[in-house]
Amino acid sequence: MEPIGSRQAQAKGERTCALIVIGNEILSGKVRDTNAYFAVRELRAVGVALKRIVVVPDELAAIAEEVRYCASRYDVVITSGGVGPTHDDLTVEGVARAFGRRLVVNPQLEQIVCEQFGGASQAAGMKMALTPEGAILNFGGELRYPTVQVENVYMLPGIPQLFEAKLLALKDRLATDPYFMRAIYIRAPESVIAEHLTACLQRFPDLMLGSYPILGNPEYRVKVTLESKDQAYLGAAYEYLMQLLPEGSVVRTE
């Protein structure tokens, strides 16, 4: 099977991702989404950059449009929610529409559904045996039901425990060159260090530099993070910035 992402992106050690959270319950405030935060942390840990997070309603047209948009622009697309047996579970059909594919019964999923659902619930459960034509089943982890994949799109459930388990099972497949990071905790306000951060970026334009003010912390006022996939580049940028910062302003580093 062809590895995820373009050859050019792989050569650079870059892999981008979009997360599409699907569900009226998120947009109406009935349920608090935690999957996005979990995905950001876990994907970042294996070198994947989550570049887009979007929430769409349980509507076929909206799902298909967003999947089509993201699949053409990012190496990996992960959907959250809408893969169950009920009337408002429309993700699989939406992904099929995005790629212009028919929905077909997958024999492996049909067998799993027949074994897990019984009686009157089996008819509803058969909806979970449908996949876009040509879909790939990714087995792994403790869950018996696999993650369905179409092209670069992976369809995960919205229930946090299931989403987390499935994403963890996919991590090794998605992994690429890792990010390296240094953190500097500074007692001076952002207004004092802003010019030094700008100077650092001018010297190291490929550096991912973040500045995060903290309110009410007696120890420090700003956390600055430096990230790069090039460890030597990161080290040089870190040393340069440390020389620029006002004497005595650094509380600690990580």
| Residue 132: CATH number of its domain | 3.40.980.10
Q: Tell me, yes or no, whether 1 lies in a domain.
A: no
Q: Which of 142, 6, 124 is closest to 73 using CA atoms?
A: 6
Domain coverage including residue 104: 7-174
pTM across the whole model: 0.89
pLDDT single digits (tens) 111-150: 998 888 766 567 778 899 999 999 999 998 778 899 999 9
Where helices occur in the chain by DSSP H, the ranges are 7-11, 24-27, 35-45, 60-71, 91-99, 107-116, 121-125, 160-174, 190-203, 231-244
Same domain as 246, residue 146:
no
Per-residue pLDDT, averaged over 181-186, amounts to 98
CATH of the domain at 217: 3.30.70.1130
pLDDT at 8 over 80: no
Pairwise CA distance, residues 206 & 208, whole Å: 7
Same domain as 194, residue 104:
no
- The strand pairing partners of 210, in sequence order, are 225
Tally of structural domains, the chain: 2
pLDDT single digits (tens) 43-88: 999 999 999 999 999 999 999 999 999 999 999 999 999 999 999 9
Give burial (CB, 10 Å; 0-12/13-18/19+) of 62.
middle
Same domain as 123, residue 245:
no
DSSP SS3 for 34: coil
Same domain as 184, residue 127:
no
Same domain as 116, residue 140:
yes
Looking at 137, 154, 174, the residue that finishes a domain is 174
Q: Tell me, yes or no, whether 158 lies in a domain.
A: yes
Same domain as 197, residue 109:
no
Same domain as 46, residue 138:
yes
Same domain as 235, residue 113:
no
